[in-house]
């Protein structure tokens, strides 16, 4: 296992932190998730996925005796991940400055909406707020309908989770070289802002305003989705010249090549209108069959049920059966990181803590 030997205490909840520590667990780290005592409330259905391969213990963090024993445990752990609002861990007696006295090599990762500093540090927020403040929604969507409501959490996952994992692993390498731990401040909004990789330079360097449906990838060209005759959609990403040519051949409209090869904004939009009309002449199944044989960067928009059964993801082993505590199996998304030297070993959700839990006063083992 790539991260075998790394020990993580995870104080996070909801999505960003648990997704990050799930990735670490999938890669072989030993993750112990610190949870609240059970209240009898229903579980979040995604918990079985996010908590797989982790151990968990339920604690009352308002109990000073529990805090003392947790602090004593820190000498045994490499990494702490927390997702409270700034200042909460300090008030509990579990802030970085306090814990590094116990373990100077501790890597302490704080994931928050707006960061540990700045005027927004104490504000609440959700993914839609972070992405909006980061400017992404300012040029996404359509001029008529405005910003899009996305089905995934960009700031939470691509922002908070993935950046946290990168930062933690970089800190592990640094500690290997120097023996020194550190406090990592991961702001989901900062990280979402950094995702403006293609668009930001147009404004920062060229001073060009970023507006909806005015750029190649946000509706200002034929790059996009087109409705079929039966109300399904095909995605068209034929940007490069060879793909533009292949697209025209697939739709049997070589006469449109001069238009699509000009790369002029007006011609791009004119070609887009042609595509709207052309895709509406055949059914989804007919277009899928046509483009299955042609390398033109055109693919169907699948339902998630279709994705689960798609031969690409079946061949890539992107769905796995995970054992549950009751002996049943649950289908889950697999770890997407493929390696020629390891395979993720998935274990049941909320596996019992296997070291001496009696030494931790007030902690109830799940």
Domain CATH number, residue 163: 3.40.50.10540
The answer on 184 and 90 residing in a single domain is yes
- Does residue 205 fall inside a structural domain? no
The answer on 250 and 356 residing in a single domain is no
pLDDT of residue 187: 98
Q: What is the rounded CA–CA span in Å between residue 331 and residue 260?
A: 44
Task: Decide: 276 and 259 in contact? Cβ < 8 Å.
Answer: no
Domain extent, residue 158, equals 7-194+318-365
- Enumerate residues 6+ apart whose C-beta is below 8 A from 359: 69
The last residue of one of the domains, among 255, 270, 300, is 300
- Does residue 201 fall inside a structural domain? no
- Does residue 202 fall inside a structural domain? no
- pTM comes to 0.93
Q: What is the rounded CA–CA span in Å between residue 157 and residue 363?
A: 30
3-state secondary structure of 207: coil
The answer on 250 and 184 residing in a single domain is no
The answer on 273 and 167 residing in a single domain is no
* Catalytic positions: 126, 156
pLDDT of residue 41: 55
Number of domain units in the chain: 2
**pLDDT (tens digit, 0 to 9) for every residue of the chain, 366 residues total?**
789 999 999 999 999 999 999 999 999 999 999 998 865 555 678 888 999 999 999 999 999 999 999 999 999 999 999 999 999 999 999 999 999 999 999 999 999 999 999 999 999 999 999 999 999 999 999 999 999 999 999 999 999 999 999 999 999 999 999 999 999 999 999 999 999 999 999 999 999 999 999 999 999 999 999 999 999 999 999 999 999 999 999 999 999 999 999 999 999 999 999 999 999 999 999 999 999 999 999 999 999 999 999 999 999 999 999 988 888 999 999 999 999 998 887 887 654 444 444 445 444 444
Q: What is the rounded CA–CA span in Å between residue 71 and residue 9?
A: 11
The answer on 327 and 187 residing in a single domain is yes
The last residue of one of the domains, among 274, 300, 326, is 300
Task: Decide: 284 and 299 in contact? Cβ < 8 Å.
Answer: no
The answer on 292 and 323 residing in a single domain is no
- Does residue 223 fall inside a structural domain? no
pLDDT of residue 366: 45
Handedness of CA 211, 214, 216, 220 (dihedral sign): positive
pLDDT of residue 43: 65
pLDDT of residue 357: 44
Q: What is the rounded CA–CA span in Å between residue 358 and residue 129?
A: 43
The answer on 152 and 21 residing in a single domain is yes
pLDDT of residue 253: 97
The answer on 360 and 249 residing in a single domain is no
């Amino acid at each position: 296992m790539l991260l075998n030997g790394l020990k993580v205490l995870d104080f996070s909840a909801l999505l960003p932190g648990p997704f990050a520590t799930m990735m670490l667990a999938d890669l072989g780290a030993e993750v112990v998730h610190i949870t609240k005592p059970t209240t009898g409330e229903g579980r979040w259905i995604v918990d079985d996925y996010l908590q797989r391969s982790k151990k968990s213990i339920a604690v009352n963090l308002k109990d000073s005796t529990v805090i003392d024993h947790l602090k004593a445990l820190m000498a045994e752990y490499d990494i702490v991940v927390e997702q409270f609002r700034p200042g909460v861990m300090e008030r509990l007696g579990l802030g970085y400055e306090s814990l590094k006295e116990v373990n100077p090599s501790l890597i302490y990762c704080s994931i928050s909406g707006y960061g540990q500093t700045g005027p927004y540090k104490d504000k609440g927020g959700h993914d839609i707020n972070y992405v909006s403040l980061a400017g992404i929604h300012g040029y996404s969507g359509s001029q008529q309908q405005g910003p899009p409501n996305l089905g995934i959490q960009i700031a939470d996952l691509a922002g908070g989770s993935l950046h946290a994992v990168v930062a933690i692993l970089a800190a592990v390498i640094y500690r290997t070289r120097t023996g020194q731990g550190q406090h990592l401040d991961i702001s989901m909004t900062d990280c979402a802002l950094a995702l403006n990789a293609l668009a930001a330079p147009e404004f920062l360097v060229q001073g060009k305003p970023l507006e909806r449906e005015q750029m190649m990838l946000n509706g200002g060209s034929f790059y996009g989705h087109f409705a079929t005759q039966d109300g399904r959609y095909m995605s068209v990403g034929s940007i490069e010249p060879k793909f533009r040519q292949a697209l025209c051949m697939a739709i049997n409209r070589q006469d449109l090549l001069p238009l699509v090869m000009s790369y002029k904004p007006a011609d791009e939009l004119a070609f887009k209108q042609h595509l709207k009309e052309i895709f509406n002449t055949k059914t989804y199944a007919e277009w899928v069959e046509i483009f299955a044989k042609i390398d033109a960067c055109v693919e169907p928009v699948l339902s998630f049920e279709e994705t689960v059964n798609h031969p690409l993801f079946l061949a890539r082993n992107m769905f796995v059966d995970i054992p549950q505590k009751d002996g049943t199996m649950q289908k889950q998304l697999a770890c997407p990181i493929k390696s020629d030297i390891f395979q993720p070993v998935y274990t049941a959700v909320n596996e019992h803590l296997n070291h001496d839990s009696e030494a931790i006063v007030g902690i109830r083992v799940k």
